[in-house]
Structure 1
Amino acid sequence: MSYDRYLAICYPLHYAAIINSKNSLYLVSFSWISSYILMSSELIFIFQMEFCGSSVIDHFFCDFAEIVKISASSNSILLWEDFVVSLLSVFFPFLFIVSSYICIFLTILKISSMSGRKKAFSTCSSHLLVVCVYYGTLIAIYMVPSGDNVQNENKFKSLIYIVLPPLINPIVYSLRNREMLESIKTLMYKYVRAEKCWRV
């Protein structure tokens, strides 16, 4: 999506030639196949782990860290492999998105008219907000240190990571819809009028 916005704003005349159905299919196929290969390689290592003792996972889903915690096997290879998968599936895409948006913002700053800047920024604002919510919750889970009640805190962070991005995604993209914006304005207007009538 960031590459699509990058081409639309930085190279608008080349957009139709580059983003055609064939190249779109290649991009989607690459995303699906690469994620399948990366996750399969991690699953192969997980299936080779030995579990003796308690098989109870104190979490509401089988999180990777929880599975590693109850394993009796040596986890050094698996942890290194997980680090490589995280680099390829999280860090490098994030770096690509950030560099795309830096180029987009530099291009937007070169636009002379204020209305042109506003229009260019509005085309990528929804995706940028969704990316910030997704990576913000991801960073909150895996990079922010936990407090005293580590287990419950990790469960809560995981719940936010699983629920918040899919919940916010349709809301953010629907806010670009004019009918939706008009409905929200009407609803807010009715709420304000009802609040004023109630106070009187």
Structure 2
Amino acid sequence: MHQGNQSTVSEFILLGLSTQAEKQNLLFGLFLSMYLVTVFGNGLIILAIALDAHLHTPMYLFLANLSFADILSSSTSIPKMLVNILTKSQSISYVSCLIQMYFSIVFVVVDNFLLGVMAYDRFVAICHPLNYTIVMHPKFCISLTIIPWVLSNIVALTHTLMANQLVFCGDNTIPHFFCDLAPLLKLSCSNAMINEVLKFAVGLSVITFPFALILFSYVSIVRAVLRISSTEGKWKAFSTCGSHLTVVLLFYGTIVGVYFFPSSTHPEDTDKIGAVLFTVVTPMMNPFIYSLRNKDMKGALRKLINKKPLASRIYSGSPIMAGCKMESPSAW
């Protein structure tokens, strides 16, 4: 193992999603629009939750954190890509590349854990409604919010420190629109086998528990919903779960495809398509799937957009990181 960075490469060249000049304006307009929708949509969710006391519950605490992570996830890669298209300069310094990789890993891992936490919250609310306020007490739900951020930074730091040990002495072109772990490993002219093994081992351990929690939660939810006598009630519950599971499958499918297999076993376009899905498309869709289908959230957003006064209902302290109010869980 090399001690410290011995790379002769001082910068990398991000080739972006396409090298064809005629497509650059189209890509710029498309990704700028998607980025603005992501920031605006998730920003509205956070603001609505912060200002409406009725939404100071564990479910919306987790949702606010998910929206915050989605904004930061998109902001890690898209603005740099847009600047590169405008300036026609595709370079990024070695240090900036590692920093971008670090934060891209942080927010992907945070999303992963929060999806599991949100599934567990719904499991308790639907399958054990009478015990909901006992299980999801303030200290516990705050812990479920903080732990994902701590673990994600540990995972990102591990990968970044290991990548910094690699030597980059030849080709410095990254066929990607941001500095992702997989394409960086391909460029190394030193043996990256340990990094590949670490990527698989850490990724598997990070993914397994949240995914198992999601699977257990939704199997239990489906069994509980099947006992509902009302056909309308069943359809509403299954429709909501189906939307959530679609995002879960999209998120985990792309993560597994990009990060769990050796970098040499799949084409470069697969990495880029997968990265676009979980860094751009999924964060943009989350506000619609998790919030706009929710009656309480739609009501809060309507009040916010109509500029009706909400000051009298502001909860003491920030609901996003400071605490959560225990109320009866609302149905999805």
TM-score tier, shorter chain, comes to 0.7 to 0.9
Distance 2:236 2:276 in 1: 35
Q: Is the 8 A contact 1:9 1:120 kept in 2?
A: no
TM-score by length of 1: 0.75
Distance 1:100 1:66 in 2: 35
5+ long unaligned stretches in structure 1:
182-200
Equivalent residue number for residue 38 of structure 1:
155
TM-score by length of 2: 0.47
Q: Is the 8 A contact 2:123 2:218 kept in 1?
A: yes
Counterparts of residues 174-185 of structure 1 (less than 5 Å): 174-177=292-295
How many residues of Structure 1 are paired with residues of Structure 2 in the alignment? 177
2:209 to 61, 81, 92: 92
**What's the offset of the Cα at 1:69?**
0.8
Q: Which amino acid aligns with 1:133?
A: L
The structure-2 alpha-carbon separation of the partners of 1:124 and 1:19, relative to structure 1 and needing over 3 Å to count, comes to: farther
SS at match of 2:288: helix
**What's the offset of the Cα at 1:115?**
4.5
Distance 1:142 1:45 in 2: 15
The structure-2 alpha-carbon separation of the partners of 1:137 and 1:102, relative to structure 1 and needing over 3 Å to count, comes to: same
Percent of pairs with identical residues: 37
**What's the offset of the Cα at 1:121?**
4.3
Equivalent residue number for residue 74 of structure 2:
none
Please say which structure displays the higher CA radius of gyration: 1
**What's the offset of the Cα at 1:106?**
1.0
Counterparts of residues 109-148 of structure 1 (less than 5 Å): 109-118=226-235, 120-121=237-238, 124=241, 126-139=243-256, 141=258
Q: Which amino acid aligns with 1:113?
A: S
Distance 1:67 1:179 in 2: 41
Counterparts of residues 1-200 of structure 1 (less than 5 Å): 1-118=118-235, 120-121=237-238, 124=241, 126-139=243-256, 141=258, 150-172=267-289, 173-177=291-295
The structure-2 alpha-carbon separation of the partners of 1:138 and 1:78, relative to structure 1 and needing over 3 Å to count, comes to: closer
Q: Which amino acid aligns with 1:171?
A: F
The structure-2 alpha-carbon separation of the partners of 1:2 and 1:162, relative to structure 1 and needing over 3 Å to count, comes to: same
RMSD: 2.9
